[in-house]
Amino acid sequence: MSLDPAALGELERFARALIEDAGQLALDHFRRQPEVTDKSPAGAALDPVTAADRAVEARIREGIRARYPDHGLFGEEAEDEPGASDFAWMIDPIDGTRGFMSGFVHWGALLALRHRHEPVLGLVHQPYTGETWSGAALGAHFYRGAEVAPMRTRDCGTLGAAVLATTDPYLFEGAEAAAFESLRQQVRLTRYGADCYAYCMLAMGQLDLVVESGLKPWDVQALIPIIAAAGGVISNWRGGDCRDGGQVLAAGDAVLHRAALARLAEAAN
């Protein structure tokens, strides 16, 4: 869905300034033994949240309300706020909280803009490294200080040449685990633990595939425009829309995407 380029450019600049400002709040807690609360039900795997998650999301919501009061607001840590316009924002204040609480740098703030439910703008910001990745119909760009560079995925037409990433192999159970293992055995190299950072590396042409499962809408909606604008493909394991999360496959090119889908097909839901 196309939007006026000037309007989209204004929205991108606003969102980039906002997410970079809000991300500074996370640094007040990073590598300072932040208090961690477990949101998961008793007996389930750890689902952590920290004061940094809440502070970053609150700052982003505050900024959007002040500039675009009729836009909807949705996020991981606060109540949904449907708006009166066709625009809505999806916020993941810290994607990769497990990495954040452990002192690793593979985490980031995610912000997506939806127009009539379609993600049209996505940003990821890593405040510790000072990196921001942005994607929209205007293109995909990497920002770090004064550096601004276009992003492009790399061509990799065979699984045997591909570098694959996933956050955690234990994301997968049963048929999913078997399908992931089938794919893992075919690729050149597999890396773990990067959360949103892996998708950014794919957009920059540093790796070729990202496979995950159990994602929420706020985990993926900012990534969709970034991957697409950089020339990649992102979908669910059936090859369809992944904006609601669940099983997600991102690839640097369409040929590789089809090859990976074939390995995951039996476990697609």
Average pLDDT value for residue range 238-249: 98
Residues 17 and 119 in one domain: yes
Domain-ending residue, one of 150, 172, 197: 150
User: What CATH number is attached to the domain comprising 217?
Assistant: 3.40.190.80
Domain-ending residue, one of 150, 174, 198: 150
Q: What is the C-alpha separation between 29 and 64, in angstroms, rounded?
A: 23
Q: What is the C-alpha separation between 249 and 229, in angstroms, rounded?
A: 16
Residues 168 and 140 in one domain: no
Residues 13 and 125 in one domain: yes
Q: Cβ(140)–Cβ(133) under 8 Å?
A: yes
Domain-ending residue, one of 101, 133, 150: 150
Amino acid 46: pLDDT: 74
Asked if residue 32 has pLDDT above 60, the reply is yes
Percent of the chain clearing pLDDT 70 (strictly above):
98
Residues 75 and 120 in one domain: yes
Amino acid 44: pLDDT: 67
Residues 168 and 261 in one domain: yes
Residues 54 and 135 in one domain: yes
Residues 171 and 44 in one domain: no
What is the pTM assigned to this prediction? 0.95
Percent of the chain clearing pLDDT 90 (strictly above):
90
Asked if residue 181 has pLDDT above 50, the reply is yes
Average pLDDT value for residue range 155-176: 95
Under DSSP, is residue 196 helix (H, G, I), strand (E, B) or coil? helix
Residues 139 and 213 in one domain: no
Q: Which two tokens stand for residue 159?
A: 């699984």
Q: Which residue has better confidence, 46 or 217?
A: 217
Average pLDDT value for residue range 196-206: 98
Residues 86 and 165 in one domain: no
User: What CATH number is attached to the domain comprising 98?
Assistant: 3.30.540.10
Amino acid 45: pLDDT: 74
| Residue spans of beta strands (DSSP E) within the chain | 36-38, 48-50, 72-75, 87-95, 108-115, 118-126, 131-136, 139-144, 147-150, 163-166, 189-192, 209-215, 233-235, 246-251
CA 118-124-125 angle, 5° bins:
150
Domain count, the chain: 2
Give the range among 2-11, 21-30, 87-96 with minimum mean pLDDT.
2-11
Q: Cβ(24)–Cβ(58) under 8 Å?
A: no
Residue 34 confidence class, pLDDT cut points 50, 70, 90: confident
Residues 34 and 125 in one domain: yes
User: How confident is the model over 80-135, as pLDDT tens digits?
Assistant: 999 999 999 999 999 999 999 999 999 999 999 999 999 999 999 999 999 999 99
Q: Which domain holds residue 191?
A: 159-267
Q: What is the C-alpha separation between 178 and 8, in angstroms, rounded?
A: 42
Residues 136 and 16 in one domain: yes
Residues 10 and 119 in one domain: yes
Asked if residue 52 has pLDDT above 50, the reply is yes
Amino acid 1: pLDDT: 44
Residue 42 confidence class, pLDDT cut points 50, 70, 90: low
Q: Cβ(96)–Cβ(126) under 8 Å?
A: no
Residue 2 confidence class, pLDDT cut points 50, 70, 90: low
Asked if residue 157 has pLDDT above 90, the reply is no
Amino acid 43: pLDDT: 63
Q: For the chain, give the mean pLDDT.
A: 95
Q: Which two tokens stand for residue 11?
A: 């929205």
Residue 260 confidence class, pLDDT cut points 50, 70, 90: very high
